[in-house]
Structure 1
Amino acid sequence: MISKLNLEHILFLDIETVPEYKQWSELDDDTKLLWETKTQYQRKDEFTPEDFYDRAGIWAEFGKIVCISVGYFKIQGDSRQFRTTSFHGDEPKILRDFKGLLESHFNRPHHLLCAHNGKEFDFPFIARRMIIHHIELPFKLNLFGKKPWEIPHLDTLELWKFGDYKHYTSLKLLTKILGIPSPKDDIDGSQVRDVFYNEKDVDRIIIYCEKDTVSVAQIFLRLRNEELLHDSEVLSV
Structure 2
Amino acid sequence: MLERINLENILFLDIETVPEQPNYTLLDEETQLLYDLKTHYQRKDGQSPEEFYEKAGIWAEFGKIICLSVGYFTFKGDIRHFRVTSFHGEESKILKDFNNLLNNHFSQPQHIMCGHNAKEFDFPFIARRMIINNIAIPLKLNLFGKKPWEVPHLDTMELWKFGDYKSFTSLKLLTKILGIPSPKGDIDGSQVGYVYHVEKDIDRIVTYCEKDVIAVAQVLLRFRREELLVDDEIIHV
Aligned partner of 2:177 in structure 1 is 177
Q: TM-score, normalised on structure 2?
A: 0.99
C-alpha deviation, 1:19, in angstroms:
0.1
Cα gap change, 1:104 to 1:40, in 2 (>3 Å): same
Aligned partner of 2:44 in structure 1 is 44
C-alpha deviation, 1:46, in angstroms:
4.2
CA distance in 2, matches of 1:21, 1:44: 22
Aligned partner of 2:160 in structure 1 is 160
Post-superposition Cα deviations, 1:90-123, rounded to whole Å, max 9, x if no partner, equal 0000000000000000010010000000000000
Task: Please list, as runs of the form range in 1=range in 2, the aligned pairs for 1:13-162 lying within 5 A after superposition.
Answer: 13-162=13-162
Aligned partner of 1:223 in structure 2 is 223
Task: Please list, as runs of the form range in 1=range in 2, the aligned pairs for 1:168-207 lying within 5 A after superposition.
Answer: 168-207=168-207
For residue 128 of structure 2, what is the amino acid of its counterpart?
R
5+ residue gaps, structure 1, are none
Post-superposition Cα deviations, 1:122-144, rounded to whole Å, max 9, x if no partner, equal 00000000000111100000001
CA distance in 2, matches of 1:166, 1:185: 29
Percent of aligned pairs sharing the same letter? 68
C-alpha deviation, 1:45, in angstroms:
1.2
Q: Secondary structure at the match of 1:140?
A: coil
Count of equivalent residues = 237
Runs of 4 or more above 4 Å deviation: none
Residue range with higher mean Cα deviation, 41-50 or 150-159: 41-50
CA distance in 1, matches of 2:110, 2:191: 36
Q: Secondary structure at the match of 2:126?
A: helix
Post-superposition Cα deviations, 1:144-192, rounded to whole Å, max 9, x if no partner, equal 1111111000000000000001121001100100011101121110010
Q: Secondary structure at the match of 2:130?
A: helix
CA distance in 1, matches of 2:60, 2:211: 23
Residue range with higher mean Cα deviation, 170-179 or 37-46: 37-46
For residue 72 of structure 1, what is the amino acid of its counterpart?
Y
C-alpha deviation, 1:77, in angstroms:
1.9
CA distance in 1, matches of 2:219, 2:100: 27
Q: Secondary structure at the match of 1:65?
A: strand
CA distance in 2, matches of 1:100, 1:91: 14
For residue 39 of structure 2, what is the amino acid of its counterpart?
T
Q: Secondary structure at the match of 1:142?
A: coil
Aligned partner of 1:209 in structure 2 is 209
Q: Secondary structure at the match of 2:42?
A: helix
CA distance in 1, matches of 2:215, 2:46: 34
Aligned partner of 1:9 in structure 2 is 9
CA distance in 1, matches of 2:90, 2:182: 29
Q: Secondary structure at the match of 2:50?
A: helix
Q: TM-score, normalised on structure 1?
A: 0.99
CA distance in 2, matches of 1:186, 1:102: 31
C-alpha deviation, 1:44, in angstroms:
3.4
Q: CA RMSD in A?
A: 0.6
For residue 161 of structure 1, what is the amino acid of its counterpart?
K
For residue 4 of structure 2, what is the amino acid of its counterpart?
K
